[in-house]
Structure 1
Amino acid sequence: MLFSKPPLTLLTLLLTTADLTLSTSSPSPSQLSNRSKKFSIGIVLFPGFEPLDVIGPFEILQSVSAYYPQTISFIASQTGPITSRCPPHVMVPGQPPVNLDHLISVSLTATHTFATAPPLDILLIPGGMGNMVLVENNDTSIESFINSRYKSLSYLLSVCTGSVSLARSGVLKNKKATTNKSFWGWVTQFGNNVKWVPAARWTQDGKIWTSSGVAAGMDMTYAFLSKVYGRVGVVDNVMNAIEYAPHTDPKWDPFSVVWDVPGADPKRSLESCVKPVGF
């Protein structure tokens, strides 16, 4: 097929449509200030991270950064490629470790170690089967990093079972949080006095945001960026440009019923109000 002119790239589409709704926005003074602030973002990686936990939020962040300045660091115990393939680990208590060498995977490059990471405004902790390996090996490097940076962070986010690291670090004490509903029983055994919310798609308690499983990280990221920058304009246009309709009710995750999470309401509809934002 021949084109008379080059097709629009996603970035070109964003650049040519973002101003269409900006004039109708009413950002708060803090949101206006945030639009010119260069946020330093860190995303933690570990062997066995869940790819969409990282790439989903990153897709939205990358598009928004075309307008609002950001920097990104990928942080791990060592620099270089970090695989999403989970190391061998015990999946069923009393059974031998399961070898997942046959699992297809992707590697992302860690740009910094926990020791060399730059000052951060926003820190995101993904989940993944690798969380189990870290717990099994009593590896607390992520928890130590969270504690070393917590006071200086403006925001701390977790996706899926990434909330395990937040719980183990102690920062969730007396705070609301949620996690992947299929791993609810495993995750919620960690932490002291955590207010686990069984039916939440995502939670916010102060500067801590946590989401349900995997794809829910994109829903949380949309809500988070709407809070930071204002929803109408760039953030809404980004979601429609990537053609993702987010869940917009933080208090309802239908998968809490699917996975029979204690405290979830089984009488609620499994349908969610999901539609393009702004319509």
Structure 2
Amino acid sequence: MLFSKLCQVATYTSLLLIGSSVTNAAQATQAQLANQGRTVHMGIILFPGFEPLDIIGPLEFIFSVSEKFPIKLYMIADQVGAVSAVPPGRAHMAGPQFLATHTFQNTPKLNILLKPGGMGDISMVEAGNTVIENFIKQRYDELDYLMSVCTGSVSLARAGVLKGKRATTNKRLYNWVTSNGPDANWVPSARWVEDGKVWTSSGVAAGMDMTYAFLKMFYGDTVNENFNTLEYAPLLDSRTDPFAIVHNVTGRDDGNLTSCVTPAGF
């Protein structure tokens, strides 16, 4: 009964329309054309215990789009070198590692900064480690956009950049994250939220839906071709958040379950 109302079923006929929706994409705005013509400098923050999909999902889409538009990527951590996704105290887990190319001290000027989440967020908050928050505060004014996935919004909140802004986060850890940002306007039912230059998403896989919405806003409908090549069908309505129900988030709006996944650009 719970999941019977989560989405409407797309028909086979509607799926056939994807080809024409890409071919007849709307003209890019002046801002999108300007973004298409410039080199974008993007940073992704790494820390022990990051959630792999928070990075890998958005990064796959960014990598694909960079075939058309120049993007310089900086993987940023406390030190250059390998950073493990295994959080402290969980050495039994399989340990994917990402390579940090730059530190918080030597990263060039950025246009976009992405903060992933992960169980390491809890460890850093409990240890009183504010190196990420300090970096976000230092770079916030220079950024065109600041993004977070999952519990990554806890760093934005603790950095003070969510004050008075609408934001969302992982729904399983919703109470923990929001307790660290009492001055933010937290949205309990949202796949992702945009407020000015700050974009935040719900848990883990939601970062991919946010990334589609962001890249489409930033570059225009031309990114639909990339997403369809990758065979990823993003949620198109930011209000669609079944996991607010699954995790029984206080203040959720069950009426916002409006659609299921559809091909990009449909």
TM-score by length of structure 2 reads 0.89
Distance 2:24 2:69 in 1: 17
Match in the other structure for 2:66 = 65
Q: Which amino acid aligns with 1:86?
A: P
Counterpart of 1:263 (choices 242, 251, 258) is 251
Contact 1:170–1:192, Cα closer than 8 Å, also in 2: no
* 1:74-113 map, 5 Å: 74-88=75-89, 100-113=90-103
Q: Which amino acid aligns with 2:57?
A: G
Deviation at 1:270, TM superposition (A): 6.1
| Local SS of the residue matching 1:67 | coil
Q: Which runs of 5+ in 1 are unaligned?
A: 1-17, 89-99
Q: Which moved more, 1:189-198 or 1:127-136?
A: 189-198
Distance 1:245 1:78 in 2: 36
Distance 2:71 2:165 in 1: 28
Deviation at 1:24, TM superposition (A): 3.9
Q: Which amino acid aligns with 2:248?
A: D
Q: Which one has a bigger Cα radius of gyration?
A: 1
Distance 2:256 2:35 in 1: 37
Q: Which moved more, 1:167-176 or 1:244-253?
A: 244-253
Match in the other structure for 1:250 = 238
Contact 2:74–2:102, Cα closer than 8 Å, also in 1: yes
Matched, 1:276 2:263: yes
User: Measured at CA, do residues 24 and 223 of structure 1 come closer, stay the same or move farther in structure 2, by a change above 3 Å?
Assistant: closer
Q: CA RMSD in A?
A: 1.7
Distance 2:47 2:184 in 1: 24
TM-score by length of structure 1 reads 0.85
| Local SS of the residue matching 2:173 | helix
Deviation at 1:237, TM superposition (A): 1.0
Matched, 1:222 2:222: no
Contact 1:178–1:211, Cα closer than 8 Å, also in 2: yes
Deviation at 1:244, TM superposition (A): 0.9
Q: Which runs of 5+ in 2 are unaligned?
A: 1-18
Match in the other structure for 1:213 = 203
Distance 1:61 1:44 in 2: 15
Q: Which moved more, 1:247-256 or 1:65-74?
A: 247-256
Q: Spell out, residue by residue over 1:213-257, the C-alpha distance to the aligned partner (whole angstroms, 9 max, x if none).
A: 0000000000001111112x2x11111111111111112211000
Match in the other structure for 1:118 = 108
| Local SS of the residue matching 1:74 | strand
* 1:190-209 map, 5 Å: 190-209=180-199
Q: Spell out, residue by residue over 1:165-220, the C-alpha distance to the aligned partner (whole angstroms, 9 max, x if none).
A: 00000000000000000000110001242000000100000000000000000000
Q: How many residues align?
A: 247
| Local SS of the residue matching 1:109 | strand
User: Measured at CA, do residues 24 and 161 of structure 1 come closer, stay the same or move farther in structure 2, by a change above 3 Å?
Assistant: closer
Counterpart of 2:166 (choices 160, 165, 176) is 176
Match in the other structure for 1:52 = 53
Distance 1:24 1:250 in 2: 21
| Local SS of the residue matching 1:188 | helix
Distance 2:162 2:257 in 1: 29
Q: Which amino acid aligns with 2:48?
A: P
Q: Which moved more, 1:246-255 or 1:107-116?
A: 246-255
Contact 1:83–1:108, Cα closer than 8 Å, also in 2: yes
Contact 1:223–1:248, Cα closer than 8 Å, also in 2: yes
Counterpart of 2:141 (choices 147, 151, 167) is 151
User: Measured at CA, do residues 270 and 207 of structure 1 come closer, stay the same or move farther in structure 2, by a change above 3 Å?
Assistant: closer
Contact 1:254–1:271, Cα closer than 8 Å, also in 2: no
Contact 1:128–1:160, Cα closer than 8 Å, also in 2: yes
Contact 1:198–1:261, Cα closer than 8 Å, also in 2: yes
